[in-house]
Amino acid sequence: MHYDSPYLVLLPGYIFLGTGIGLAISQNTQVTLSEIDPRHAGTASGILNTVRQIGTALGIAIIGAVVAAQFNAALPKRLDQVANLPADSKTSIIALGKAAGITSTSTIVKSFPVPTAPISLAANPTAAAAYVSQASKTLNDTSTATDQATTDSIVLAIRVGALFVFLGGLLSLRIPNVRHPKEAPVAGH
């Protein structure tokens, strides 16, 4: 996926994800509470919701760690592809990425001013214009590299999340089909 891919590319995945979560949560509650004595249904429901919230928080922490680690791994590789980016600028942007995180890094890089031509080129307007043009291109390419590193990290996070969803789906197939005694079919009918 490219950093400027249209949102419609993501729409089928969002629809699939939303439908799957909607189906899973209602079945999770039904299966969990099906074997509970009705007198303890409130307690069991509270425990279920607490465990669900803890799982959500843990999942967010894991996905956040994946995003941060992948961004810090992808950013140097993406910056290596930027022509004419000074080594000290690359080092500074990588340090900024580690300190500020994804969103701040992209925003800060986009706010960098285009350098002006050095005074030594003042007597040569053509060389000064070429310098500013090249500096502007390098700055634009650096911003694009930062955006693509962000996209790389989010794509990996989505894949990790999809893997957990897939594993959860496989594990849900192991849930026994249990009927509550009141729902057992009557013999002879």
Reply yes or no on whether the pLDDT at 1 is more than 80: no
pLDDT given at position 145: 92
pLDDT digits (tens, 9 = 90+) for 26-60: 777 777 777 788 888 889 889 988 998 998 899 89
Q: What is the pTM of this model?
A: 0.73
Domains identified in the chain, total number: 1
Other CB atoms within 10 Å distance of the CB of residue 155:
14
Contact 138, 82 (CB under 8 A): yes
Which residues 6+ apart lie within 8 Å of 104 measured at CB? 96
Question: Structural domain of residue 41, as residue ranges?
Answer: 9-179
Assigned domain for 31 exists: yes
pLDDT given at position 183: 55
Assigned domain for 19 exists: yes
Assigned domain for 132 exists: yes
